[in-house]
Amino acid sequence: MGKRLYIIAGEASGDLHGGNLVRELFNVSNEYLVASGESASSSSPLGVSEADSPLATRHSKLRIRAWGGDRMAAAGAEVVKHYRELAFMGFTQVVMNLRTILRNIETCKKDIEAFRPDALILIDYPGFNLRIAEWAHAKGIPVYYYISPQVWAWKKGRVHTIKKVVDRMYVILPFEKPWYANYGMDVDFVGHPLLDAIEQEGRSPLTALPGDDGRPVVALLPGSRRQEIARMLPLMVAISRRFPQHRFVLAAAPAVPDEVYAQGIGDAPITVVKDRTYDVLRSARAALVTSGTATLETALFGVPEVVCYSGSAFNVWIAKRLVDIRFISLVNLIMDREVVRELIQSDLTVENLSAELDRLLQEGPYRSRMQGDLRELQQRLGGPGASARVASAVWKSLHAGA
């Protein structure tokens, strides 16, 4: 008997980790078929020809329907809603698009009901996913949550909802397991899935970036949403003009139209490279990074960085009253101390950013100390294998007592 899973990821990072999870789920499904001696179907679970189906899905009795993106689709999931239609940043954006968000939630519920999954896997994206989790729990659908909402930072009251409606939580940051234990929840620390993605990247040879001229590379990661890019790119453009001895390469998000970057960059000496973020980081001597998952990605490649954040005055005013954390970057949160400099709001000036980048580029104690701290960070997160561990745990739960 085949199994059906419904996965929801609402952002680019969720699609990245969801893609690796989907791939591992099909792998464990096929291993189960071999171990059980069941005959495998020669057709794809998605109803397409075997030649067009991802290898892992061709003989699996598992079917995965999802809200996600290109990476999840490439891994074999049947993506019915792209995260491009779901990502709204900041309080004001959420309020302005509330009607669309509520409509998406109702559409999702109807699609889940029609699909009749054996379980639901939610990846981060708490504002949307926790509503779906409550509904699914009431319907008797098992709920697995992969990548915990950042309830330790704000909206701590959500932990009571999670405890009630989530059957199993798989966390990716080492401090989350004891944090949940304080609320009487036993969660599984599976390691960070970025290590999986980075390990895969390391297996492939590094291809030279366009325009390579021998100068050291400074990576620019201005964010994956238009609002972020509009705020961060002008600063990064100004910085690029101050360091002519270095080459500035912008890692463009695949879901953002090219013209968004072109308009922001103008005639500045910046090379735009699309959908090759890891190649950019592998080539970089230092990086300017907008706060978010990219700060951790950069750190795991061992690249010294400065973390940047600038939001609307209203969003920041609200955040200061709701968010209860010492740092905004995952690097510093995991290490529980300042490893990388965070330039936020009024501190985020061209002068401050230039001075910090200069320190990162120069050989000396400051750069060496940061590089050592980044190596320690990798050790704290453990080795790769998070995706496989979650897939195995979910699969065992699905077949428990079967």
Q: What mean pLDDT comes out for the span 62-72?
A: 95
Confidence of residue 58 (pLDDT cuts 50, 70, 90): low
Query: Same domain for 324 and 364?
Result: yes
Which is more confidently placed, 227 or 349?
349
Q: How many CB atoms lie within 10 A of CB 358?
A: 12
Asked if residue 224 and residue 156 are part of one domain, the reply reads no
Whether the pLDDT of residue 43 is over 50: the answer is no
Pair 225, 335 in one domain: yes
What is the rounded average pLDDT of the residues 317-332? 66
CA distance to 47, 57, 386, per residue, from 166 (Å)? 31, 27, 19
pLDDT value of residue 2: 84
Residue 32 is predicted with a pLDDT of 80
Q: What is the pLDDT of residue 174?
A: 92
What pLDDT, in 10s, does the model give residues 216-243? 999 999 998 888 899 999 999 999 999 9
Q: Are residues 187 and 60 in the same domain?
A: yes
Query: Which of the four pLDDT bands, split at 50, 70 and 90, describes residue 274?
Result: very high
pLDDT recorded at residue 150: 86
Kindly state whether residues 152 and 227 are assigned to the same domain. no
**Token couple for 317:** 């005013």
pLDDT of 191 over the 90 cut: yes
Same domain, residue pair 25 and 173: yes
Q: CA-based diameter of the chain, in Å? A: 66
User: What residue spans of 116-221 are helical by DSSP H?
Assistant: 126-138, 158-165, 176-181, 194-203
Q: Are residues 389 and 374 in the same domain?
A: no
Question: Is residue 42's pLDDT more than 50?
Answer: no
Q: What is the mean pLDDT of the chain?
A: 87
What domain range includes position 319?
A: 200-380
Residues 218 and 74 in one domain: no
Q: What percent of the chain has pLDDT over 90?
A: 65
Residues 145, 39, single domain; the answer is: yes
pLDDT band with cut points at 50, 70 and 90 for residue 27: very high
* Tokens linked to 241: 């003009």
Do 365 and 221 sit in the same domain of this protein? yes
What's the CATH number where 394 sits? 3.40.50.2000
Number of domains in the chain: 2
Distances (CA, A) of 248 to 103, 218, 290, 300: 41, 5, 15, 20
The strand pairing partners of 252, in sequence order, are 274
Residue 202 clears pLDDT 80, i.e. is over it: no
Q: Are residues 368 and 390 in the same domain?
A: no
Q: How sure is the predictor about 20, in pLDDT bands with cuts at 50, 70 and 90? A: very high
The pTM for the full model equals 0.78
Q: Are both 206 and 330 inside the same structural domain?
A: yes
At 361, the amino acid letter reads: L
pLDDT score of 173 more than 70: yes
Kindly report which listed range (80-84, 119-123, 159-163) carries the lowest average pLDDT score.
Answer: 80-84
pLDDT in tens, 124-159: 999 899 999 999 999 999 999 999 998 887 778 899
> Which is nearest to 5 in space by CA: 172, 102, 103, 146?
146
